Amino acid sequence: MKIALVGNPNSGKSTLFNQLTGMNQKVGNFPGVTVDLMQGKMGLNGKGEASLIDLPGTYSLYPKSMDESVVFDVLCNPEHPQHPDLCLLVADASNLKRSLLLASQVIDLDLPVVLLLNMTELSEGKGVFTDPLKLETELGIPVVVINARKQSSAAQVKACIEQNRVGRVEEAFIDIKTIQPKVWKAIPDFVKGKNEYDRIQQAAGQHHFRNPNLESSKLEEVNQALKKAGFHRHRFEATETVRRFEKIDEILKNASREEAQLRPGLSARIDDVLTHKFWGFGIFFLVMLVLFQAIFAWSSLPMEAIETSFIWFSDIVRNNLPAGVFTELLVEGVLAGLSGVLVFIPQIAFLFLFIAILEETGYMARVSLIFDKILRKFGLNGRSVIPLISGVACAVPAVMSARTIQNRKERLLTILVTPLMSCSARLPVYTLLIAMVIPSKMIWGFFNVQGLVLMGLYLIGFFAAIGASWVFTKWIKSKERSYFIMELPDYKMPDWKTVGLTIYQKVRVFVVDAGKIILAISVLLWVLSSYGPKERMQAVDQAYPEVAENPDAFPEKAAIYRSAKLENSFAGILGKSIEPAIKPLGFDWKIGIALITSFAAREVFVGTMATIYSVQDPDNTGTIREKMRSEINPDTGKPRYNVAVGVSLMLFYAFAMQCMSTMAIVQRELGSWKWPVLQFVFMGAMAYLSSLIAYQVLS
Amino acid sequence: MKKLGDLEVGVKGVINSFTDEALSLKFMEMGCLPGSKVMICRKAPFGDPLVIEVPGSHLTIRKSEALSILVQTEF
């Protein structure tokens, strides 16, 4: 049995879905369109197992966005694999009129339905009382009062299905045939439907979905026939909407009563502060500050724990398995890659803990309200502010948080530019380079130049992000119109079950979907940096025979040995071969190798530098700095790492897309490799050009 | 007849018609029907977007979108 949850956004539909399925749910991707659908299973007494689908929230059957077109497709196309046997219509009692519009359309499609009246307490608080029995009589379908936040709602809904308390209306909600009457005779006979309303959707619905039951030649015939009969889609849909609302008004006159209760709501008073032109922004930045502090402070411990336990486990594997290629692959490739995936979990979990709370309470809608005007100029949306700011911590969860942006173009732009924000992985690179080339001087007595440079790099990231978005708006066209008409929900306490499940889903999507790609690339990078042409690698082994035998016995020589190995590996050869291309930026082949290995993650730069400069203790950045500082450029006879090279390198790291995890998650979120590749190219171009200019001007 | 986007905060009006056909459908679905009461209840910082009140709910709407709604303010 297939059951679909249908309802307006904010109607409590997803809360109910969580109640019904619990952990027994997964994100299903729709073939063809990249709309994520939540699918789940629930057991029914005596009726086996039902599969449940949570359709995107929408206000009417007629879609205004790609997410909403999925609803039309699923409900109107009987061949669709998710086409339901039963629709649970979730209605918000505090806004019943609007909920009933969509409900009445689904009723008219002749699908078995139950109306679930949710949020009656909220509605009664506002002075609107609905009589479910009268509503049931008026609508002719079963009406069940639920509270989706309570666990009992699941049992109520299940009982309803088990007892077959589902209805179908004999008589259509409105007489659809009186709207543009000429059109009806024009629909060719081969267009079938369960009733007249269904039939017109099959005929005219190709604006919303490709009708698989009609061949393209026949579809064209239908189009011509409708056109000839003077069918006007917008006007048809508008008239239908008005008629439905007229009927709904009549029904509600009988089934609900309103007691005037016009005391200014609490939400309005909170909004006076939270959307204030001064306090609104002030409080927002305060919230963000707390969020970051929490992400950094709370995730650092679990992140360390994950890394330490992997190191501990790697040691066990290394000590207990016979030394050789397989063990090396397992430890340096697979386990290291796995650790690289799992280490993101704390950050993702904490960010989504906060985002889910902000979303659930209704604060997110206010954030998007106060930032919309500024960000709109750059092709973004008020909601883009969360991904952009989260990008300062890590682009991976930030990209995932762009889900809350409904408009596809604005979401795409946000995802494309978010990796330009200076993430925490750039910080070790910046601090190493700043300490090396920027003097620790004070200006005006209290500004440290090093600090100013670091802040400058963060600002560059931000301006690059919104600038790039502005440029992309000229390039990326969208068929979808940008709306900002949204409901401003009242403030409410978060539903903790929803918060928990959001975190669980996000972590799962990252580990399962992006994790595979990250693991594969990290194994590939390991192969590249530990293997090389046979004769060259053997030459290194022969030069240090005693080290190759037992590296632990000669720590000093072992460092030099590792350095020589890396230099002669495929990655080393690759780094050397790109030297001509990066020389104008002031980089040598050593930096070239680091650029290649840090594609795994930016902070790998520091580790690679440690290996190349034969540092025995790679955790000691002081020693790395000393070694790098004493490096002489053979062409000039002066130190290699001067201000020009340092600045050029920092700019390169500020712009370049050197993060396989981000690329993997962008691919996952946008459903195509096209976008991460585009990011790699445009960010690479920005990095190359800015480094080139910086180096040429400064040297 | 005035445009909703031009009204001051707190001025009550009744929706008369829409000048943008595609947008009008979206408005109607969200409860902004010809004949319903409407009022701007606040403006975001910098005067845009707006928060409007229609029977039953509050909606956020960009000023440009609000300019396509014609309202009657004198009764």
pLDDT digits (tens, 9 = 90+) for A208-254: 666 666 777 888 888 888 888 888 888 899 999 999 999 999 999 99
- Alpha-carbon distance of A340 to A357, in angstroms, equals 27
Greater confidence, A214 or A75?
A: A75
A245 interfaces chain B, CB cutoff of 8 Å: yes
Collect all residues of chain B within an 8 Å Cβ-Cβ radius of residue A105.
none
CA gap A108, A100 in Å, rounded: 12
Residues A40-65, mean pLDDT to the nearest whole number: 89
Q: How confident is the model at residue A31 (pLDDT cuts 50, 70, 90)?
A: low
**B55–chain A Cβ distance below 8 A for any pair:** yes
Chain B contact for A159, CB < 8 A? no
Q: ipTM of this predicted complex?
A: 0.94
Cα–Cα distance for residue pair A67/A408, rounded to 1 Å: 9
Point out which residues pair with A447 in neighbouring strands: A443
B37: closest CA of chain A, how far (Å):
15
pTM for this prediction: 0.82
Residue of B nearest to A267 (CA): B58
Computed over every residue of chain A, the mean pLDDT equals: 87
Q: How large is the average pLDDT for residues A661-686?
A: 93
Which residues 452-511 of A have a C-beta within 8 angstroms of B? 481, 483-488
Q: Helical H runs in A321-446?
A: 325-328, 336-342, 345-361, 363-376, 385-390, 395-401, 408-417, 426-437
Contact A242 B27 (CB under 8 A): no
Q: How far off is chain A from B35, nearest CA to CA, in Å? A: 11
- The per-residue pLDDT for range A512-521, each reduced to its tens digit, is 877 888 888 8
Residue A692 has pLDDT above 90, yes or no: yes
Band of the pLDDT at A471, cuts 50, 70, 90?
A: very high
| Amino acid identity for residue A591 in this structure | I
Q: Which pLDDT value is given to residue A203?
A: 85
**Which carries the bigger pLDDT value, residue A54 or residue A323?**
A54
Q: How many angstroms separate the CA of residue B2 from the nearest CA in chain A?
A: 20
Average pLDDT score over residue span A668-678: 92
pLDDT at A265 over 90: no
Distance between CA atoms of A223 and A231, rounded to whole angstroms? 9
The gap from C-alpha A565 to its chain's centroid, in whole angstroms, comes to 40
> What's the pLDDT score for residue B5?
93
The answer to whether B35 contacts chain A (CB < 8 Å) is: no
pLDDT in tens, A278-290: 999 999 989 888 8
Q: Which two tokens stand for residue A9?
A: 């956004």
Q: Give the one of A101, A271, A373 whose C-beta lies nearest to B42's C-beta.
A: A271
Of A520-524, A671-675, A676-680, which has the strongest mean pLDDT?
A: A676-680
Task: Indicate if the pLDDT at residue A427 is higher than 90.
Answer: no
Contact yes or no for A421/A398 (Cβ under 8 A): yes
Facing A241 at nearest CB: one of B25, B42, B55:
B25
Backbone phi, then psi, for A129, in 5-degree steps?
-115, 130
Distance in Å, alpha carbon of B54 to nearest chain A alpha carbon? 11
pLDDT at A691: 96
Per DSSP bridges, beta strands A113-118 and A143-145 are parallel
Which chain B residues contact residue A374 at CB under 8 A?
A: 46
Q: What is the pLDDT of residue A251?
A: 95
Whether B70 has a pLDDT exceeding 60, the answer reads yes
Q: Say whether residue B31 is in contact with chain A using an 8 A CB cutoff.
A: yes
Q: Which residues contact A277 (CB under 8 A, 6 or more apart)?
A: B45, B46
Chain A residue with CA closest to B62: the answer is: A484
For residue A110, which amino acid is it? D
Provide the percentage of residues in chain A whose pLDDT is more than 90. 37
Residues in CB range of A148: below 8 A, 6 or more apart: A12, A13, A15, A16, A19, A90, A116, A118, A119
CA distances from A83 to A64, A112, A425, A452 (A): 20, 12, 45, 59
Q: Is B34 on the interface with A (CB under 8 A)?
A: yes
pLDDT at A112 exceeding the cut of 90 = yes
DSSP codes of every residue in A191-246? ---SSHHHHHHHHHGGGTS--TTS-HHHHHHHHHHHHHTT--HHHHHHHHHHHHHH
- Residue among A369, A479, A481, A486 with most chain B CBs within 10 A, to mutate: A369
Which among A234, A271, A488 has the least Cβ separation from residue B22? Answer: A234
Residue A387 has pLDDT above 60, yes or no: yes
pLDDT category, A35, cuts 50, 70, 90?
A: low
Separation CA B20–CA B24 (nearest Å): 6
Interface check for A253 against chain B (CB to CB < 8 A): the answer is no
Instruction: Give the separation between CA A686 and CA A415, rounded to whole angstroms.
Output: 17
Looking at the complex, report in whole angstroms how far the Cα of residue A123 sits from the nearest Cα belonging to chain B.
10
**A308-326: pLDDT as tens digits:** 999 899 889 988 988 888 8
Q: What's the pLDDT at A253? A: 93
The answer to whether residues A601 and A425 touch, using CB atoms and an 8 Å cutoff, is yes
Instruction: Say if residue A668's pLDDT is above 70.
Output: yes
**How many Å apart are CA A300 and CA A289, to the nearest integer?**
16
